[in-house]
Amino acid sequence: MKSGKEVRDEIDDYEDTIFAMLGFVNFYRFDDQAGQQRDDVVVFQGRRLTPSPAKSTSVDGNPVESVTPDFGILSQECTGVLGEVKKSFTPDQTLWLSTFRQLMAYDDDLTGWPTADGKLRTHDVVLLTHQSRAVAVCDYHQRRTESGEVSFVRPFSIVAFNRSDERQPYFFFEKRLGNLSHNVLDGRLHQGVQVPMNRLVESYSTIKLCDSKPPLPYMASLIWEHVVAARASDDPKFPKLRRNWKVEVVLTIDEIVSELRRDFSFQVLCPDETERQPMVPRKQWCVRACEALVTGKLASWAERDSREKVRFQFKKLDNVLEHMIGLCANDAEDTGNQLELFSPQPSVTSTS
Amino acid sequence: TLESSWFFQRLVALIEKSYPQAVTTFITHRRLRRLLESFLEQNSFSRLIIRRASSRVRFAQAHQAEDERVIKMVSWPRLELGEAFDMVYEHNGWFQSLQFDACRDHQVLASVFFTRQGVLHTDALVSQAFAAFVEPVCKTIDENVRFFGQRCRRSRGDLSVSPLVVDFQVDQVAEPDQRHRFIKAMQRLRGASVSVLHGNPYVHLSVLDYYDGSAFDVWILSGSEITIVPQMKGSMAAIKRLIHHIFDSYAEGHIREYEGGHV
């Protein structure tokens, strides 16, 4: 059973990962001279890209259908960027190679870019990692490059990030290895750039989910506060609701997925509806969160032997997140590492 | 009360029951003082004597924000305007409503009752009181409707956010104990869920209003500002209620548009 602090730390990590991604892509999205966001820069997250025939087989011989970088950036003058965010690396360095193999899979003539023909002439590959691991990761890269296990044809960079908990908190980004094709940004990141958190509040408030499984209480809170409560508030009884009175709300899992995707995912930045874009949140995350709400007697499954429709019993909770943390504390499945982004497993999908 | 029970128990109660379609206004403590000073100066009164005051006073043991309590008080101070405000500041409190005499020399020209919700009663000088209180309050209501309206994401075609900032203009929320006090104050918001996603050093709260289902992200990412981000549903009434609560239970600030995006 996890402590409340452990769950809060997981939520913190999850949010930090999203904030780091948003901070980095904002370097490309924001036009310093015009003082506004650029319309010609496309940002995507978790998009499935198809490898070239040369890289359509993994090192262990399995066919690779697609690769899913954590984030991608497409701009006219700077070509493209594909990146991976890995806040923490396991102390066992023998497992680090899988991360670099994953990055090397992005160093390819991939198909599926949000361009007319789905192709792009060239692009950079970037690893975003926490400052505390950056030196070790750069050293590892150096050694494995010398031994021939790691190599990149396209420009490859390692950028360290860190949230600085000063009185005015900011994310600090600093390039530790390689070069970016965007010369101006490359120079800035060489010196290190502070991104004050209060400059990105708009993005932080609209993107609460990425293509990585969120902590269960966080997911349950999002569903309760932003989907169930919004529906319940349409009921005339809602304003007069007394403690322990309930408003029934019936929703399908697909409706929950659709609303959270529209309102709180990276779809806000990339409204591309192609099959290549991931369905975030994943349906199974929502099912698991609803199962937790059913266990906590805040909902029940509307149909027997089906996990498609939920009958919520909306009631007033003093502190929704705290309630959900308590509700999920004994959840057997919610004990592993939540952040697939941080997992040593590659996100290369295989047919085998 | 100064009014008939019909006024407060029926009419005002009816307005309050119509929330969020109809809401009473909210005047900051700073603005309440300015309105009174302006009334005094424009009509060349020699003084305003506060005869009866309904106020709220914060009581807290030193450095123990969780023990902070807000106590309702009624007093009959018979103090001049400036003295009365100094007194309530010294006691870490604020006025909710005031009954005062407008005096010129030793003559009482009118006895006026005014609340921060915009309720006005006077037994004389009706046009002067109307000009001094009703007109500026109506102007404020109009400004508020324009400023707080259309803030929710649902009202915007691209579902973008429209944050607003409570700017204290001093380092009001720079220290951990101040931020802790702010969180505790927010958790006293009635009829709402206040979840703490992050408490220190930056603050990120998720607020769900049980009066109408409005939802907000509340951030402290600077020593002098609180940023409020209305989510998909964020009614004008709920935004005002939230800001009213921050002003009354924590500290008053200036409200302005959020300016961000630049790195």
* Helix %, strand %, coil % of chain A (to 5): 40, 20, 40
pLDDT digits (tens, 9 = 90+) for A24-39: 999 999 887 777 888 8
Quick one: pLDDT at residue B4? Answer: 63
CA distance linking residue A237 with residue A242, whole number of Å = 10
Mean pLDDT over A90-116 rounds to 93
Mean pLDDT over A135-143 rounds to 97
Instruction: Please give the single-letter amino acid code of residue A345.
Output: Q
pLDDT band at A346 (very low <50, low <70, confident <90, very high): very low
Do the chains contact at B229 and A202, CB–CB below 8 Å?
yes
Mean pLDDT over A6-17 rounds to 92
Interface contact B197, partner A, CB < 8 A: yes
Which residues, in sequence order, are CB contacts of A230 under 8 Å at separation 6+?
Answer: B213, B215, B232, B233
Closest CB to B208 among A166, A196, A229: A229
Q: Which of B210, B211, B219, B227 best tests the A interface by mutation, with the highest count of A CBs <10 A?
A: B210
Query: Dihedral sign, CA of B85, B91, B92, B94?
Result: negative
CA distance B71 to chain A (A): 22
Interface contact B195, partner A, CB < 8 A: yes
Closest CB to B193 among A35, A196, A317: A317
Quick one: pLDDT at residue A249? Answer: 97
Looking at the DSSP bridge assignments, the partners of residue B50 are B79, B100
Do the chains contact at B194 and A201, CB–CB below 8 Å?
no
Interface contact B157, partner A, CB < 8 A: no
CA distance linking residue A9 with residue B136, whole number of Å = 49
pLDDT digits (tens, 9 = 90+) for A243-254: 889 999 999 999
Which residue matches tokens 């909770």?
A317
Quick one: pLDDT at residue B61? Answer: 63
Do the chains contact at B159 and A221, CB–CB below 8 Å?
no
Which residues, in sequence order, are CB contacts of B177 under 8 Å at separation 6+?
Answer: B63, B65
pLDDT digits (tens, 9 = 90+) for A154-175: 999 999 999 998 878 999 999 9
Q: Which of A25, A66, A30 is nearest to A43 (CA)?
A: A25
Closest CB to A195 among B191, B211, B263: B263
Could you give the maximum distance between any two Cα atoms of chain B, in Å?
A: 62
Q: Which chain A residues touch B160 with a CB distance below 8 Å?
A: 202, 206
Quick one: pLDDT at residue B22? Answer: 79
Quick one: pLDDT at residue B69? Answer: 75
Backbone angles phi, psi at B226, to 5 degrees: -120, 130
Interface ipTM? 0.89
**Structural domains of chain A sorted by starting position, each given as residue range(s) with its CATH number in brackets:** 4-204 (no CATH), 216-317 (1.10.10)
CA distance linking residue B148 with residue B142, whole number of Å = 10
Residue A332 has pLDDT above 60, yes or no: no
Q: Which chain B residues touch A167 with a CB distance below 8 Å?
A: 171, 174, 201, 223
Do the chains contact at A316 and B210, CB–CB below 8 Å?
yes
Residue B142: half-sphere exposure toward Cβ, Cα within 13 Å: 6
CA distance B2 to chain A (A): 29
Do the chains contact at A37 and B160, CB–CB below 8 Å?
no
Quick one: pLDDT at residue B3? Answer: 57
Share of chain A above pLDDT 70, in %: 92
pLDDT digits (tens, 9 = 90+) for A264-307: 999 888 877 778 888 899 999 999 999 999 999 999 999 988 99
Q: How many CB pairs under 8 A join A and B?
A: 132
Residue A197 has pLDDT above 90, yes or no: yes
Q: Which of B221, B224, B225 best tests the A interface by mutation, with the highest count of A CBs <10 A?
A: B221
Quick one: pLDDT at residue B67? Answer: 62
Residue A344 has pLDDT above 50, yes or no: no
Crossing angle of helices A4-29 and A183-191, in 10° steps, is 140
pTM value?
0.88
Interface contact B229, partner A, CB < 8 A: yes
Closest CB to B211 among A198, A239, A321: A239
Segment holding B71, helix H or strand E: strand B69-75
Instruction: Report the DSSP pairing between strands A30-31 and A309-314.
Output: unpaired
Interface contact B233, partner A, CB < 8 A: yes
pLDDT values of chain B reduced to their tens digit, one per residue, 263 residues: 355 677 777 777 787 777 777 777 888 999 999 999 999 999 999 999 999 999 988 876 655 555 677 788 899 889 999 999 999 988 888 999 999 999 998 899 999 999 998 889 999 999 999 999 999 999 988 998 899 988 999 999 889 999 999 999 999 999 999 999 999 999 999 999 999 999 988 999 999 999 999 999 999 999 999 999 999 999 999 999 999 999 988 988 999 999 875 44
Do the chains contact at A202 and B159, CB–CB below 8 Å?
no
Do the chains contact at B223 and A167, CB–CB below 8 Å?
yes
Interface contact B206, partner A, CB < 8 A: yes
Q: Which of A13, A17, A24, A167 best tests the B interface by mutation, with the highest count of B CBs <10 A?
A: A167
pLDDT band at A350 (very low <50, low <70, confident <90, very high): very low
Closest CB to A201 among B153, B213, B219: B219
* Whether the Cβ atoms of residue B213 and residue B235 lie closer than 8 Å to each other: no
